[in-house]
């Protein structure tokens, strides 16, 4: 009898330890990615749009929107981006009779980026997804484990040139183990949250590279309007622009096209001078008011661009 009880205790402890180890491993994998951005970021933020991901699997239609939701959350958590609401992005795509999901082509990206003032647009797809059940039943211990695996592909398109600046594929695996010991404990059915866990594990792998690639692009904002000495900018405190900051302004001229691909490489630029931010514009801080402090060309006009002065 004593020997039977000893076996029962060992089996029960083994099951408990295995469950705790799996949980700790999943938490650590997620924490390692977000830990790099746990301090409050101070500096200019980029505008980025995320299109609903395409679900190429037969698993269910909600995976695409779930993946894009997860990506938006992770991008916001970095503090480096202002993410344009998907409803607004989809509305523009609809009004322009453009594809609202999937791999946006170069011309679509440039057109939408110009309308919404985006630096980049992220598109993606779930190329593989599956959930399997594993289980074992013994006289004393019974356990069931669900294993979900997701493969997610993403692309980042420069909203000014239409060029793909980053493409990658990531795999996420999530496990959920439930067991019973002499009939006690959880023996629940399918855990639907395992879908999101697998998607998140795949998506968080991209975040550091997204930050790196989009941040390489020079930060810019647009002049929304000019009245007298006041210059109104479409970037404010919510994008990290502070009172007293100086920006160099340029007028954009002729497009410079790649002769082989037809993509926009950039624009001819004419320096106009510099402006200094005097305060925020709007209740939510989406814009700024500035004044000209140096003039090297014509007076600034609406649609001219400004960059943070070196």
Lowest average pLDDT, out of 62-66, 90-94, 235-239, goes to 90-94
For 220-308, CATH number? 2.40.10
**Model confidence band, residue 21 (pLDDT cutoffs 50, 70, 90):** very low
Q: Does this chain's domain 2-215 share its CATH topology with 220-308? A: no
> Is a pLDDT exceeding 90 seen at residue 71?
yes
Q: Note the pLDDT tens digit of each residue in 93-135.
A: 777 666 554 556 777 888 888 888 899 999 899 999 888 876 5
Lowest average pLDDT, out of 59-68, 145-154, 237-246, goes to 59-68
Phi-psi domain of 57 (left: phi exceeds 0; alpha: psi -120 through 50; beta: other): beta
Predicted structure pTM score: 0.74
> Is a pLDDT exceeding 50 seen at residue 243?
yes
> Fold for domain 2-215?
Rossmann fold (3.40.50)
Which residue has tokens 């439930």? Answer: 178
Q: How far is CA 108 from CA 54, 55, 56, 166, 264, in A?
A: 17, 20, 22, 17, 13
In angstroms, the CA 121 to CA 110 distance is 9
So what's the pLDDT on residue 177? 65
Q: Which residue has the higher pLDDT, 291 or 285?
A: 291
Delimit the domains of the chain by residue range: 2-215, 220-308
For residue 110, the SS3 value is helix
Please tell me what DSSP assigns to residue 238: G
What are the start-end ranges of the E strands in 183-262? 220-227, 230-233, 246-257
């Amino acid at each position: 009898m004593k020997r039977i009880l000893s076996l029962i205790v060992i089996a029960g402890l083994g099951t408990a330890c295995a469950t705790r180890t799996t949980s700790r491993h999943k938490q650590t994998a997620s924490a390692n990615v977000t830990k790099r951005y746990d301090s409050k970021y101070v500096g200019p933020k980029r505008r980025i749009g995320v299109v609903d991901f395409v679900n190429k699997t037969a698993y269910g239609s909600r995976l695409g929107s779930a993946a894009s939701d997860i990506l938006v959350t992770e991008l916001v958590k970095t503090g480096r981006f202002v993410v344009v609401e998907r409803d607004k992005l989809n509305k523009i795509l609809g009004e322009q009779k453009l594809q609202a999901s999937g791999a946006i082509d170069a011309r679509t990206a440039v057109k939408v980026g110009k309308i919404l003032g985006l630096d980049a647009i992220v598109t993606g797809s779930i190329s593989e997804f599956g959930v399997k059940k594993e289980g074992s039943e013994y006289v004393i211990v019974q356990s069931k484990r669900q294993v979900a695996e997701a493969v997610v592909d993403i692309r980042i398109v420069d909203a000014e040139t239409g060029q793909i600046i980053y493409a990658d594929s990531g795999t996420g695996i999530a496990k959920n183990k439930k067991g019973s010991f002499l009939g006690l404990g959880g023996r629940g059915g399918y855990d639907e949250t395992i879908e999101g866990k697998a998607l998140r594990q795949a998506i968080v792998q991209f975040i550091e590279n997204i930050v790196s690639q989009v941040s390489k692009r020079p930060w810019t904002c647009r002049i929304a309007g000019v009245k007298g000495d006041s210059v109104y900018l479409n970037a404010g405190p919510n994008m990290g622009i502070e009172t007293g900051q100086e920006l160099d302004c340029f007028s954009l001229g002729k497009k410079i096209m790649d002769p082989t691909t037809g993509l926009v490489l950039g624009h001819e630029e004419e320096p106009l001078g510099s402006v200094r931010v005097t305060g925020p514009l709007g209740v939510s801080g989406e814009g700024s008011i500035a004044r000209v402090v140096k003039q090297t060309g014509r007076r600034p006009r609406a649609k001219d661009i400004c960059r943070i002065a070196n």
